Structure 1
Amino acid sequence: MHILVAPDKFKGSLTAADVAARIAQGARNADATTTVLPLADGGDGSVETAIAAGFTREGVTVAAALGNEHETAIAVGADTVVVEVANTCGMSTLPPGVLAPLDSSTVGLGHAVRSAMHHRPRRLVLALGGSASTDAGIGMLSALGYTFCDANGDELIPSAAVLSEIDRIDVNPMAELHDIEIVVAGDVFNPLTGPRGAARVYGPQKGADPNIVARLDESLAQFVNILVRNGFSDAARIARLPGSGAAGGVGFAAMLLGGTTVSGADFFLDLLEFDKHASHADVVITGEGSIDRQTEHGKLLSVLTRRSAPTPVVAIAGRNLLDHKHWTRAGFRRIYALDEWTDVDTASDPLLTGDLLEQIAEHAVRRLR
C-alpha cells in the first residue's frame, strides 16, 4: 500500500514537515510506502512548503513586527520567489505574550520582497497568513519606494498608528517591480474596510479592543481617501475587492502594485504537483490542528479532498468537531483526533503530539488493509 502523506501544520505545536514525518513513520511501521508532501495554504509555513517542493532556501535579514532585525528565509525557484508575512513580520515575530495592533508594521515583508527582486523573478508570491499588523501594507510599500508624509511634510514611520496622519504620498517604486506577476496567496477574501473588513474581523486576534478596532477601520477608510486624493484613482475600487483585507491590508497594498489574489490552497497544491502524487497513491493521509464545519468551506483540507478524488482521504486532527454524518460530504473516509487517544492537552506538547500521530497513522493504515 502506498500512502501520500500531505498534512498542514498543527499550529503552535508542530510544523507541517514535522507532522508529515511522524505520520509517514507510522505508515511505514504498518509496512506501507510513503510520499511526503508537507502543505501550506498561504499562511505560516508557506516558504518551507515551497522549499520542500524544490525551491532553494535563502536567508534574509528583515524587520520583525516591531522593527527589530531578525533572520528568516525566502524560497527561490527558477522563475518564482515565495515570501511570507508570518516569518518576516507576523505574530510569531512579536515578543512572547505581546500583541501590538497599532505599533506593528509590515516593513519586514517589504525587506523580503527587496531581497526577492535581486533574483529578477517572473513571479513573486506573497503568502499573507499570520500577520500582526493592520497597517494596510504601508510598511511593505515604504520598503519598496513609497514615502508617507503628514500635513507638515514630515516623513512618517510606517505602522497602523500613523495611517490617519498620512496626507501626502511620494512614489519612487523599485524598477524591478515593473512587469512582474505578483500573486497574493491565502484563504482570506475580506474587503479592506467595513463590517467584514480587516480591522473588524481580524483586529481582535491581533490584540485590538473595540475602540482600537473602530479606530483602525476608520483609519483604513481615511487612508483610501488620501490615496485617491494623491492620484491613486483606483484605490476605492480595490479596497472593496475580496482579499484586499488580507494580512491587515497587505492584500490591498499588493493589489495597488498590480497583484492578483488566488486560493492559497490551490496554489500550493499545484506547486507541489499534488494531483499527480494523489493519483499514484492508494490513500491520502492529511491533517491539521482542528477540523470543524469551517473545514468544509474552502479551507486547505476541503480543497485537498476535492482534488484527491477518487483516492480516499483519512485525516488526523488535534481535535475534531465535524460530526460523523458530515465526514463523507467533506470528503473524508475517516477522521481521527488526538484528544480521543489521550486526556492530556497535546496543543502545548509537541513530543506527545508526534508520538500520537505516529501511533494513529500506524493504526489507520492497518485498518485500511
Structure 2
Amino acid sequence: MTAKLRIVIAPDSFKGTTTAVDAAAALAAGWHAARPGDEVVLAPMADGGEGTIDTIAGSVPGALRMPERVLGPVGCGHNGLVDAEWLLLPATSPGEGPTGVVELAAASGITHLDSLSPMAAHSYGFGQLIARALEGGAHRLLLAIGGSASTDGGTGALAALGARFLDDNGGAVAPGGAGLGDIVRADLSALTSLPPGGAVVLGDVTNPLFGEKGAAAVFGPQKGATPAQVAELDAGLRRLSTVVSADPETPGAGAAGGTGFALLAWGASMTPGAVAVAEAIGLADSIRSADVVITGEGRFDDQSSDGKVPSRVLALADEGGAVAMLVAGRVDADTHGFAASVSLSDLAGSADEALADPLRWLQVAGERLAGAL
C-alpha cells in the first residue's frame, strides 16, 4: 500500500501564459492523477509582481479586496481612469492594526496600455491606491511594485501622496518620464506620512536607479523607449536623485522605473518580494508539515537564485525537511537542490507548443513529478 503524502504546490506565475493560482491547480490535477490518495495543498506564490494580491488574498483568511477607481498609467483628470483594488489583511497579533497590500500593476501596470508610452506613462494611480489604503485604516503597507508601465522615478506616486515636483519657474513638471529632466526642486512638505507600522517594498529586481544597469537602460526598452529616450530618461533619473534624499545605488532603487527609489525616499524599506509573500501566506508553516514541495516559474535561469520564488521555496523546503521539485517553462540553469525538475518546453516538444497550452503541460508535469517519487 502506497503511503499517503502531503504535497505543497507553490509556483510563481508563468509570466505571459498563466497565473500562479491556475498553475498550482493544474499541477495538483496532474499529481492527483498519478497519486489520488495524497493530500495536496495549494499555495500559489508571487515575488511582488502582477498577481501578488490574488496570491495573498487566496491564502489569508479574512482578507478583503477593496475596489477603487484611480488614474491608469496615462491620462489625467477624469480621463484614463481604471478599476483597481488593494487588499486589507486582518491584524495577526494583539496591538497591531491591519495590513494593506497595494500592487502597482493594478493601477499603473503595463497591461493597462493599449500601446506603450515610455515618456508619458506615470505611477500616479499607484500613489492614489496607497492613499486609499491609508484612509482605509492600514496600519502597515506591503507595496508590490512589479509590472510597471512607466519610468517616472516614482514621482507620480509621490505626487498622489502630496509631493510636488517643480521646474525653474516654480510650476509643476509634466507627468511621466518626460518631466524628469525639468525638475529643479522637490517640495515634500505636504507628503503623507508613513503608516505607524511602516511600509515594505516587495521588489523582484536589484537594479540601481540610473546607469548601465539602471531603470532606464535595462527596463526602458521593454516599455517602448528608443535609445534616445533611454538616454533622456536616464538623465532625468539622475536629475531626480539630486533633489530627493535617497541612495540611488540601493539595490532595487531602479525597480518599477525608479518607483523603488521614490518609496525609499518616502521612508519605506525594501525586501525580496518572494520572502515577504511567503511570510504573508504562512508558507513556512505549510511546508514544515509537507513531504514534497513543488515550485516553478516561466523560465528558470541564473537569476532564479537571486530572490525569486523558486529559490525562496527551495530554502523553506530545506529548512522544513521536505523534498523540493521544480517545474518551469524553460530550464536554463543548474537545478541543484531540487530532487526532480521538469521543463514544459521539453515535455511539449518545443517552447511554442508549451506556450500554446500551458495548463495542459503543467498537468502533465505534475503527473510526471509524482511518478518521479
Establish whether TM, by shorter chain, passes 0.5: yes
Q: In 2, distance between residues paired with 1:180 and 1:211?
A: 42
Q: In 2, distance between residues paired with 1:218 and 1:176?
A: 29
Q: Which among 151, 172, 194 is matched to residue 155 of structure 1?
A: 172
Do the aligned partners of residues 33 and 72 (structure 1) sit closer, same or farther apart at CA in structure 2, a change above 3 Å counting? same
Trace 1:124-143 onto structure 2 (pairs within 5 A). 124-143=141-160
Trace 1:190-229 onto structure 2 (pairs within 5 A). 190-225=207-242, 227=243
Q: Give the residue type in structure 1 aligned to 2:113.
A: L
* Structure 1 residue 239: Cα displacement: 1.7
Question: In the alignment, which residue of structure 1 is the partner of 2:23?
Answer: 19
Do the aligned partners of residues 297 and 189 (structure 1) sit closer, same or farther apart at CA in structure 2, a change above 3 Å counting? closer
Q: Give the residue type in structure 2 aligned to 1:267.
A: A
How high is the sequence identity, in percent, across the aligned residues?
Answer: 36
Matched, 1:8 2:16: no
Preserved CA contact (<8 Å) 1:117 1:176 = no
Q: In 2, distance between residues paired with 1:224 and 1:241?
A: 12
Q: Give the residue type in structure 2 aligned to 1:155.
A: A
Question: In the alignment, which residue of structure 2 is the partner of 1:90?
Answer: 109
Alpha-carbon displacement from aligned partner over 1:69-88 (angstroms, at most 9, x marks no partner): 11122111122111111221
Question: In the alignment, which residue of structure 2 is the partner of 1:292?
Answer: 301
Matched, 1:332 2:338: yes
Number of paired residues?
Answer: 351
Q: Give the residue type in structure 1 aligned to 2:295.
A: T
Do the aligned partners of residues 347 and 16 (structure 1) sit closer, same or farther apart at CA in structure 2, a change above 3 Å counting? same
Question: In the alignment, which residue of structure 2 is the partner of 1:321?
Answer: 332
* Structure 1 residue 303: Cα displacement: 1.7
Preserved CA contact (<8 Å) 2:162 2:192 = no
Preserved CA contact (<8 Å) 1:101 1:133 = yes
Alpha-carbon displacement from aligned partner over 1:278-297 (angstroms, at most 9, x marks no partner): 12111111111111222233
Unaligned runs of 5+ in 2: 91-97
Trace 1:223-302 onto structure 2 (pairs within 5 A). 223-225=240-242, 227=243, 232=244, 235=245, 237-302=246-311
Alpha-carbon displacement from aligned partner over 1:273-324 (angstroms, at most 9, x marks no partner): 11111121111111111112222333221121112113111111112222xx
Preserved CA contact (<8 Å) 2:344 2:354 = no
Question: In the alignment, which residue of structure 2 is the partner of 1:70?
Answer: 82
SS at match of 2:101: strand
Q: Which among 100, 103, 108 is matched to residue 117 of structure 2?
A: 100
Q: Give the residue type in structure 2 aligned to 1:356.
A: W
* Structure 1 residue 348: Cα displacement: 4.7
Q: Which runs of 4+ in 1 moved over 4 A?
A: none
Q: In 2, distance between residues paired with 1:257 and 1:243?
A: 15
Unaligned runs of 5+ in 1: none
Calculate the TM-score normalised by the size of structure 2.
0.89
Do the aligned partners of residues 346 and 143 (structure 1) sit closer, same or farther apart at CA in structure 2, a change above 3 Å counting? farther
- Alpha-carbon RMSD across the aligned residues, in angstroms, is 1.8
Matched, 1:169 2:206: no
Preserved CA contact (<8 Å) 1:102 1:133 = yes
Preserved CA contact (<8 Å) 1:317 1:336 = yes
Matched, 1:40 2:51: no
Preserved CA contact (<8 Å) 1:48 1:75 = no
Alpha-carbon displacement from aligned partner over 1:184-212 (angstroms, at most 9, x marks no partner): 11122222122222112222222222211
Do the aligned partners of residues 51 and 321 (structure 1) sit closer, same or farther apart at CA in structure 2, a change above 3 Å counting? same
Which one is further off, 149-158 or 266-275?
Answer: 149-158
Which one is further off, 137-146 or 82-91?
Answer: 82-91
